[in-house]
Amino acid sequence: MYKFSQRSLNNLKGVHPDMVRLMFESIKTSPIDFVIVEGVRADERQKELFKAGKSKCDGVKNKSNHQVKPDGYGHAVDLYPLPIQYSDPKPYIELSKHIKSVANKLNIKIRWGGDFKSFIDRPHWELL
């Protein structure tokens, strides 16, 4: 059984309680350890990622789910399997199956960036 590091706990601050609950339940029984590398994202950071081509959301007209929504929370997290592997899709796919299963049990509607059609973003998870 895995548990979150202080880094992950810090990165979950300001994230919607449903996503936080999903991440906590997922890490408990995960087949792979993982770290939350980003939760709530400041507007300026979102603009930087858009300019660098790392996001399709400009942070102004098209807001990211990482940015704070009207309910006061960010609705997305980015996570990496440990040890961090950027290019190997296998650990992300294994994690996606596990997290989707946990979300289904908790009745939390989510979307994984690895399932995106136009812009594959394996670390990304968001509430629907």
Quick: pLDDT tens for 3-43: 999 999 999 999 999 999 999 999 999 999 999 999 999 99
Tell me the torsion sign for CA atoms 70, 108, 26, 81: negative
pLDDT in tens, 43-88: 999 999 999 999 999 999 999 999 999 999 999 999 999 998 888 9
With 90 as the cut, is the pLDDT of residue 98 above it? Answer: yes
**Helix locations, 1-128, DSSP H:** 6-11, 17-29, 43-51, 89-106
Contacts with 77 (C-beta within 8 Å, 6 or more apart), sequence order = 11, 12, 15, 19, 23, 36, 38, 39, 66, 124, 125, 126
pLDDT in tens, 109-126: 999 999 999 889 999 999
Instruction: State the Cα–Cα distance between residues 101 and 104, nearest whole angstrom.
Output: 5
